[in-house]
């Protein structure tokens, strides 16, 4: 249990809030590049409680500025994309991608008033299918050398989905290795050869055991957590009856991302980005260490479960997440279909828009969640003290020296599980078609 005051502190994200000020000091996913496709690349963005508009100008450069025109508050999402900027249809005020007003055609000839008008604007960059925004003070930080950023565009597929809950409970499901043996339990095992693009459907490491069976048969993992330069490394050990140990390494990338193995070939790096206090998007980068990603197939798979343009899931609270009691009896633990995103969505949305943590009871299997909340509170204290170097990826280690993070599953034949996951990852990286080597 925690106090209501602490729960408010670690969940609220608006400007000036404790956690909001932490999140603003990191790059945040703002939109998919796919959303800018078409003849008019202008999309609304609501991020960290702020209403913004993202557009691409005639030079191909991106701008992210406040959605309400600084004149009288009209909606710039309906602005005219012309003259290398965005023009408000109300009185013709024109803004470039930096937010600077460059023209006020209704003002007297020779007026220089526009020079004093600037819409709130944030730096943006494109990374493998996602537009990232920096909403904090000072110069934005560099990007770490994570696999999802280093891999060529051909080997990364990006997608997103809307969840109707606070960002923190969405992120915390990703640093809870024990839940996979229950929430994502399949009572029947599919052919792993038919599992492309699906999580927990591959074979476990270099065995013939379907991952679904291993998770089902060994529901009490030993969980170890260690702090790293990027956040936390979580290692789940499942001790098998024949003496072997299944090792699954996942990561929390501070402040609100995770990196987990999807299969032997792919990893998922997923951000849980606050739209506001009560809604969030997950943004995923699926990164292949083998063949180029089949983006058409993966997009088709996910669009069967989501609607456009808001990427909201078709299964949701209004239709009980597709719950089928007969399916729950014979096929899945939840009765909510085969897409594990729906399972996670139900779990985190069913807690309420903002989980009431004054009435939760954490156990030993929740060690990752406990350690993360401590890390977040330390970051809050660091921002208040003006010492951002105490925050993950803001310290003495240069961002171009932070690689990975390693996300893999392996089998330790002799009990040396640390060597097993290192060797498994090294083998995958050595065979990779792009330069996936780690820093010395």
Per-residue model confidence as pLDDT tens digits over 149-185: 999 999 999 999 999 999 999 999 999 999 988 888 8
What CATH superfamily classification does 33-133 receive?
Answer: Rieske [2Fe-2S] iron-sulphur domain (2.102.10.10)
The mean per-residue pLDDT over the stretch 116-132 comes to 97
User: For residue range 77-112, what is the model confidence (pLDDT) as tens digits?
Assistant: 999 999 999 999 999 999 999 999 999 999 999 999
pLDDT of residue 195: 57
Q: How far is CA 273 from CA 30, 65, 164, 250, 259, in A?
A: 8, 18, 12, 19, 15
**pLDDT of residue 415 exceeding 90:** no
User: For residue range 188-218, what is the model confidence (pLDDT) as tens digits?
Assistant: 766 655 655 555 555 666 666 777 888 888 8
pLDDT of residue 395: 83
Q: How high is the mean pLDDT of the chain?
A: 93
The mean per-residue pLDDT over the stretch 56-81 comes to 96
Least reliable range by pLDDT among 71-80, 81-90, 240-249, 306-315: 240-249
- All structural domains of the chain with their residue ranges: 33-133, 145-430
**pLDDT of residue 57 exceeding 90:** yes
Least reliable range by pLDDT among 192-201, 223-232, 286-295, 419-428: 192-201
């Amino acid at each position: 249990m925690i106090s209501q005051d602490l729960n408010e502190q670690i969940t609220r994200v608006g400007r000036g809030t404790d956690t909001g000020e932490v999140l603003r000091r990191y790059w945040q996913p703002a939109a998919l590049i796919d959303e800018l496709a078409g003849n008019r690349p202008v999309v609304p963005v609501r991020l960290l409680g702020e209403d913004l508009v993202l557009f691409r100008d005639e030079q191909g450069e991106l701008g992210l500025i406040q959605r309400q025109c600084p004149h009288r508050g009209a909606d710039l999402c309906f602005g005219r994309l012309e003259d290398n900027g965005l023009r408000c249809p109300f009185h013709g005020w024109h803004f470039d991608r930096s937010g600077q007003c460059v023209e006020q055609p209704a003002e007297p000839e020779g007026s220089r008033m526009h020079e004093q008008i600037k819409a709130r604007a944030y730096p943006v960059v494109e990374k493998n299918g996602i537009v990232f925004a920096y909403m904090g003070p000072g110069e934005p930080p560099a990007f770490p050398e994570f696999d999802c950023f280093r891999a060529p565009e051909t080997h990364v597929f990006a997608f997103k989905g809307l969840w109707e809950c606070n960002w923190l409970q969405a992120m915390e499901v990703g640093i809870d290795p024990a839940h996979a043996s229950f929430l994502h339990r399949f009572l029947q095992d599919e052919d792993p050869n038919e599992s492309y693009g699906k999580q927990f459907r591959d074979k476990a490491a270099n065995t013939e055991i379907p991952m679904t069976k291993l998770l089902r048969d060994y529901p009490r993992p030993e969980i170890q957590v260690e702090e790293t330069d990027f956040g936390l490394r979580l290692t789940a050990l499942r001790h098998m009856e024949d003496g072997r140990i299944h090792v699954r390494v996942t990561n929390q990338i501070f402040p609100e991302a995770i990196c987990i193995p999807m299969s032997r070939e792919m990893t998922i790096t997923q951000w849980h980005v606050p739209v506001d206090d009560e809604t969030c998007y997950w943004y995923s980068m699926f990164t292949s260490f083998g063949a180029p990603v089949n983006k058409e197939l993966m997009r088709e798979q996910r669009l069967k479960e989501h609607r456009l343009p808001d990427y909201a899931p078709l299964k949701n609270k209004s239709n009980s997440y597709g719950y089928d009691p007969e399916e729950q009896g014979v096929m899945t633990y939840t009765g909510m279909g085969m897409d594990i995103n729906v399972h996670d969505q139900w779990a985190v949305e069913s807690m309420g828009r903002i989980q009431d943590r004054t009435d939760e009871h954490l156990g030993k299997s929740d060690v990752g969640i406990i350690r993360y909340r401590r890390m977040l509170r330390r970051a809050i204290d660091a921002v208040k003290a003006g010492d951002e170097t105490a925050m993950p990826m803001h310290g003495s280690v240069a961002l171009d020296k932070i690689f990975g993070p390693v996300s893999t599953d392996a089998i330790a034949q002799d009990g040396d599980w640390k060597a097993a996951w290192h060797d498994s990852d090294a083998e995958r990286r050595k065979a990779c078609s792009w330069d996936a080597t780690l820093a010395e």
